[in-house]
Amino acid sequence: MILTVALSFSQAQDIKTQKYNKLNPAVVQVYLSESTTLGKIIDNDFAILEIDEEYVIIFASYDQITWLEDQNLKLKILYNDYAEMMGWKNNPELLDDFHSYDELTTELQNIASTYSSISKLYNLGSSVQGRTIWGLKVTDNPDVEENEAEVRICGLHHGNEIMSVELPLMLAWYMVENYESNPDIQDLVDNRETWIIPMVNPDGREMGSRYNANGVDLNRDYGYMWNGEGGSPSPFSQPETKVIRKHSLDNNFVFSLSFHTSGDIVNYIWNYKGEPVADNDVVVALSEQYGSHNNYWVVEGYDWYQTRGDTNDFSYGCRGDIDWTIELQNNNIAQAWDYNRDAMLEIIDAADMGLNGIITDNDTGLPVAATIWIEEVYWPCFTDPKIGDFHKPLMPGSYNVIIRANGYQDQTHQVVVNDGETTTLDVSLVPENNFFAEQVTLCYFHDPYGYPNNFKNNPTEGISALGPPDGICASLGKGGYIVLDMGEEGIIIDHEDSTDFKIFEEDESDDSYDVYISSNWSGPWTYLGLATGTTEFDLNDFSVSQAQFVKIVDDDDGDPYESNPGVDIDAIQHIIPFTNNPPLVPEINGPKTGKPGTEYEFTFSTTDPESNNVYYYIIWDDGYIESWIGPYNSGETINVSHTWAYQGDYTIRAKAKDSYNEESEFSELEIEIPRSRISKISLLSKYFEHFLNVLPSIILILKSIRK
């Protein structure tokens, strides 16, 4: 906890005259003497260290202190900067046990080289000043993507919160060193993929600053409900948050832990508003489980204090990853480790609770990039497109599961999850021209209310704009916006002489909105104009050949205080013009020679480009025809038998048609049915048999002649 060693107001005035560096602001205590004071602190982008019933402790630069005083708020400057508060300035030896960037790099390299069979070190990207952001993957086959639940452990978004580096690093050492001797650790390493990123902000660590080298609070720079806090100029503006975003897209994390200091807190989602998340039962249960190991305060982030654009809300809002902020003490590494070790391991273990499975293409068996929706817990999780596996944490119960993927028919299944068991649901999807937005890239829903009453008139969620239109919408608020990803399979392309995509806006509304498209999530953007209600667009009108991302911005008109304010986005559809191609020419396989009167079996197979059902027309060349037998699945091999009664050379001919009567060309197979050959022995046998038959007659004739 923070020591409240307050300076007098006269001392504060002396300190105030100093030039405060934004990267190392003062630690200031502001008294909550008015009911509106905390709201002012939150709405005006102060970094908060501690909240008490009577005061809030914040970081504040010289300009911010001036603003606080202009608001007639009662305050005390406790310390010149964070390092002074922690005692590091006067006692630098206190830092000896904490790892610098170079020391951390050496430790991670040692782990990866010593335990290469169960760990691998990755360069995930670089910081502003070019330092590598390291990611250590701990699993039994670190070079191979497997059907295993993935967990991410992050530290040091804030460069001066140095304890947040130590616990992820200690976890890495603990898992690799105990793999051979501890069956529980071996099970976690063998059946999970744990990514450990101890230092998200290496430049801040080297500077001893909360911020990165651009003076941005990285934990306010993420794109879900971003609001420009922490000096962030735009969503994902910094190279460090871009690294974490890309890594999140490459790995479908089930759970994440983001470590911070100072405090003893298990902070769970949401942070930007006070409503519970769809997965609240799992979130609360695991949060309380974590807190049971250390007696930390377990709290929804918004109930502690509101933040916008943080890691937790991005992880869950965009990727379905349940992500916690764990606030640690900033001294006594051994004690902090003891408080958190088992709690961390239990989160990794729990990543396989509930439902898992693999989604594949019905025709090819290849993995599919799909989205899994649970009707009773309506928030998506995603498959890993390399393997097709998904992992959805669920409490025991019965659930309706919807599997969706661009280019495939939706499927619905009923499953039961039992306590202490994992339910597996493997699904093969049938191709279909079915393409909708599949993921929220970033969003900002404007809210006219200040803390603590945010979003009381707009309960909608960004994910409501995904999938097919269903009447459930994402309301952007006055001037709000959303960027939606159509996915690689759903990329909008320009179709000749037809519209290419459609934005579904709630039917009863006449809200207007600006539309932009791009092949990159961050632009450059092509402006398509102002639309009203449900609208279709043709890329050819704007000389654009394709686009993967669609940005929708409310026209900033209307009443921000109405229920579900702003434009209401239901879905975005990539429109595929109806085209139908005939099946491919059938393949015929079977014998090339035979005998009259003998039945022979032949196989026929073909594939329809649109995966429609197929029928076969077979001419046997002896006067008999199989007239359009079927239907059969595209790609299915069928068996048909035939008998030729007479000798001859025959040509089997076959063609296929689909359910729209589009016919293929004929294919052919030759078969020879020759005259049966009778051996000499058989002939002699037949002659002898005939001789025996006529012998009595011959004897009678001879007797009559003798008479």
CATH number, domain of 62, equals 3.30.70.790
pLDDT number for residue 704? 58
pLDDT number for residue 695? 65
Same domain, 261 and 328: yes
pLDDT number for residue 451? 86
Please count the other Cβ atoms lying within 10 Å of the Cβ belonging to residue 509: 18
Return the minimum-mean-pLDDT range out of 77-86, 266-275, 636-645.
77-86
Beta strands in 418-525 (DSSP E): 422-424, 427-429, 439-444, 474-475, 481-485, 492-493, 501-505, 512-518
493 domain residue, yes or no? yes
144-179 as b/e: b if 16+ CB within 10 A: ebbbbbbbbbbbbbbbbbbbbbbbbbbbbebbbeeb
Mean pLDDT of 555-563: 94
| Tens digits of residue pLDDT in 134-167 | 999 999 999 999 999 999 999 999 999 999 999 9
Q: How confident is the model at residue 507 (pLDDT cuts 50, 70, 90)?
A: low
- Tokens in use for 595? 């005998």
Mean pLDDT of 10-32: 64
557 domain residue, yes or no? yes
Whether 347 has a pLDDT exceeding 70, the answer reads: yes
183 domain residue, yes or no? yes
Provide the domain count of the chain.
Answer: 6
Same domain, 113 and 179: yes
464 domain residue, yes or no? yes
Same domain, 645 and 601: yes
Same domain, 474 and 461: yes
Same domain, 308 and 200: yes
Mean pLDDT of 418-425: 96
Q: How confident is the model at residue 52 (pLDDT cuts 50, 70, 90)?
A: confident
Nearest CA to 372 among 505, 208, 252? 252
How far apart, in whole angstroms, are the C-alpha atoms of residue 470 and residue 571? 8
Whether 210 has a pLDDT exceeding 90, the answer reads: yes
Same domain, 241 and 105: yes
514-530 as b/e: b if 16+ CB within 10 A: bbbbbeebbeebbebee
Mean pLDDT of 210-223: 97
Query: Where in the sequence is the domain holding 16, given as residue range(s)?
Result: 9-94
Q: How confident is the model at residue 44 (pLDDT cuts 50, 70, 90)?
A: confident
360 domain residue, yes or no? no
Residue 482's SS3 state is: strand
Nearest CA to 273 among 446, 156, 439? 446
pLDDT number for residue 145? 92
Q: How confident is the model at residue 577 (pLDDT cuts 50, 70, 90)?
A: confident
Mean pLDDT of 326-348: 96
pLDDT number for residue 45? 85
Q: What is the mean pLDDT of the chain?
A: 91
Whether 20 has a pLDDT exceeding 60, the answer reads: no
Same domain, 176 and 246: yes
Same domain, 120 and 244: yes
334 domain residue, yes or no? yes
pLDDT number for residue 14? 44
pLDDT more than 90, % of the chain? 80
Burial class (CB in 10 A: 0-12, 13-18, 19+), 183: exposed
Same domain, 68 and 137: no
358 domain residue, yes or no? no
365 domain residue, yes or no? no
Same domain, 130 and 155: yes
Whether 658 has a pLDDT exceeding 80, the answer reads: yes
Same domain, 257 and 138: yes
**Prediction pTM value:** 0.82
Whether 683 has a pLDDT exceeding 80, the answer reads: no
Same domain, 220 and 318: yes
Whether 291 has a pLDDT exceeding 50, the answer reads: yes
Q: How confident is the model at residue 88 (pLDDT cuts 50, 70, 90)?
A: confident
CA atoms lying within 13 Å on the CB side of residue 24:
17
